[in-house]
Amino acid sequence: MAQPKTNEKVKLVIPKLIVGLGNPEPKYDKTRHNIGFAAVDTLAIKWQMSWQENRRFQGFFSEGIFARQKIYLLKPSTYMNRSGQSVRAVLDWYKIEPQSILVIYDDMDLPLGKLRLRLSGSAGGHNGMRSIVSHLNSQDFPRARLGIGKSNGKKETISHVLGKFSPTESVLVREILQLTAEAIELSLTRGIEQAMNRYNNRTLTAEKDLKI
What is the CB-side half-sphere exposure of residue 48 using CA atoms within 13 A? 2
Residues 199, 142: Cα–Cα separation, whole Å: 15
> Of 198, 196, 162, which Cα lies nearest the Cα of 25?
162
Residues 156, 136: Cα–Cα separation, whole Å: 31
Cβ partners under 8 Å of residue 145, min gap 6? 105, 106, 107, 110, 115, 116, 117, 118
> Of 211, 208, 198, which Cα lies nearest the Cα of 111?
208
Beta-strand relationship, 101-107 and 115-118: unpaired
135 is catalytic: no
Q: Among the options 33, 126, 135, 160, which is catalytic?
A: 33
Question: Any idea which residues carry the catalytic annotation?
Answer: 33
